[in-house]
Amino acid sequence: MSTPPTPHDGHDGHEDPNLPERDDLYANPGLPEHHWRPTDVDPRMEKRAERQVATLFGLSAICTVLFVVSYFTVGADDTVAGLGAQNLTLGLTLAGALLFIGLGIIQWARKLMADVELVEERHAVASPEEDRAVTLAALNQGIEESGIARRPLVRNSLLGAVGLVGVTAIVPLWDLGPSNAKVTKEQPYPGAGLEHTIWDKGMRVVRDVVGTPIRPGDLQIGDLVNAEPEGLFNGGPDGEPLEGLALQVGKSKGAVVVVRMEPDDIIPGDGRENWSVDGIVCYSKICTHVGCPISLYERTTHHLLCPCHQSTFDLADSARVVFGPAARPLPQLPLAVDSEGYLVAQSDFTEPVGPSYWERG
């Protein structure tokens, strides 16, 4: 401890006047003396370690065999303590086969491989000064011989052309979009279709999954129906249900929730006085935040919660946002009753459903 501190030149000599010198208070003691491991000096320990490593490799081999056995013997429906036996046995045997190899190799490295630490000198990361000079000269000569500096016309026209040629990589991406993405008078931007859904005057509100129409009398106070436009179930050719793309797009904009509450609880919005039927109101199910379907309804508060980002809407009050990141109320679907007494839409939604977009206005 009382060794007098001696200046040490272990650090590089390259100094920056803005930075303090690197001063070592103590001399670098240098690499400590190497201590041997028991396996290096005791042949019995060495043998033991050897056996350990070989045992680990052997266990791995056993696991591999078991893996193959379970692949051919364990069925998809077999269970072990309520867990799927196939996944469990294949997984555990695979894990064993791999882990035992890993453990064995590392035990080998730790116990048996030479463990004398080596010292390797670092080289400067930067190239030597002369290499840099030669490279720079070669670079300059190349530039000079090409004449790119002396011939601005050639250089600038090349830069222009190369810059422009990237357009050929971008423009063809336009056809990633739908073939009807052309901007026309009726469709001033590609998203013009977002303003409409398949709802239409007189289209019945039907239950999701089963597609049956709803009479106001079917619903009690506090009922929630996850509903769809009937067009999804009979909008195809010959009144067939829609399929594929048409179904998915139709659902992604047309899904609604229908709830029945005490008519006195409803605070109708301006011009929405006749949009409800006996306390039954209908709103778009697609959140105005980023578009999750939303049907977490509390019957006593009339609040509807989105499970994705917790926007909360008050269905008694024109689906006003009461909490969360959504900025706009859910669009309301004006309801009426048709001649057969079923709930129908008075019209399409009066505003685009779902998340906001630039051209929405």
Q: Under the criterion CB under 8 A, does residue 237 sit at the interface with other proteins?
A: no
- The candidate with the shortest Cα–Cα distance to 23, out of 31, 11, 41, is 11
Interface pick for other proteins out of 62, 69, 83, 133 (rule CB under 8 A):
83
> Which one, 118 or 165, has the nearer CB to other proteins?
118
* Count of residues of this chain found to bind other proteins when the rule CB under 8 A is applied: 152
Nearest distance in Å: CB 317, other proteins = 15
3-state secondary structure 61-79: HHHHHHHHHHHHHCCCCCE
> Which one, 20 or 163, has the nearer CB to other proteins?
20
| Near other proteins in 13-32, by CB under 8 A | 14, 16-20, 22-32
Distances (CA, A) of 314 to 136, 277, 304, 329, 330: 71, 18, 6, 9, 9
> Is 193:181 a contact under the CB 8 Å cutoff?
no
Interface pick for other proteins out of 58, 128, 160, 307 (rule CB under 8 A):
307
Nearest distance in Å: CB 163, other proteins = 21
> Which one, 334 or 354, has the nearer CB to other proteins?
354
Q: Under the criterion CB under 8 A, does residue 106 sit at the interface with other proteins?
A: yes
Angle (nearest 5°) at CA 329 between 311 and 331: 120
Residue 207 DSSP SS3: strand
Nearest distance in Å: CB 347, other proteins = 21
Nearest distance in Å: CB 292, other proteins = 6
| Near other proteins in 340-359, by CB under 8 A | 354-359
> Is 322:254 a contact under the CB 8 Å cutoff?
no
- Tell me the C-alpha distance between 60 and 322, whole Å: 60
Nearest distance in Å: CB 180, other proteins = 8
> Which one, 155 or 223, has the nearer CB to other proteins?
223
Q: Under the criterion CB under 8 A, does residue 339 sit at the interface with other proteins?
A: no
Quote the tokens at residue 350.
């009066």
Q: Under the criterion CB under 8 A, does residue 204 sit at the interface with other proteins?
A: no
Interface pick for other proteins out of 203, 205, 225, 277 (rule CB under 8 A):
225
Quote the tokens at residue 300.
């006593």
Residue 342: other Cβ atoms inside 10 A = 18
| Near other proteins in 113-172, by CB under 8 A | 113-115, 117-122, 124-126
- The candidate with the shortest Cα–Cα distance to 258, out of 224, 231, 285, is 224
Burial 80-102 (b: 16+ CB within 10 A, else e): eeeeebbebbbeebbebbeebbe
The piece of 133-141, 198-206, 267-275, 304-312 that touches other proteins (CB under 8 A) is: 304-312
> Is 112:119 a contact under the CB 8 Å cutoff?
no
> Is 326:306 a contact under the CB 8 Å cutoff?
yes
> Which one, 88 or 148, has the nearer CB to other proteins?
88
| Near other proteins in 164-203, by CB under 8 A | 173-174, 176-178, 180-181, 189-191, 193-194
Interface pick for other proteins out of 94, 148, 336, 337 (rule CB under 8 A):
94
Quote the tokens at residue 291.
């578009």
The piece of 141-149, 153-161, 269-277, 283-291 that touches other proteins (CB under 8 A) is: 283-291
Interface pick for other proteins out of 199, 230, 283, 311 (rule CB under 8 A):
311
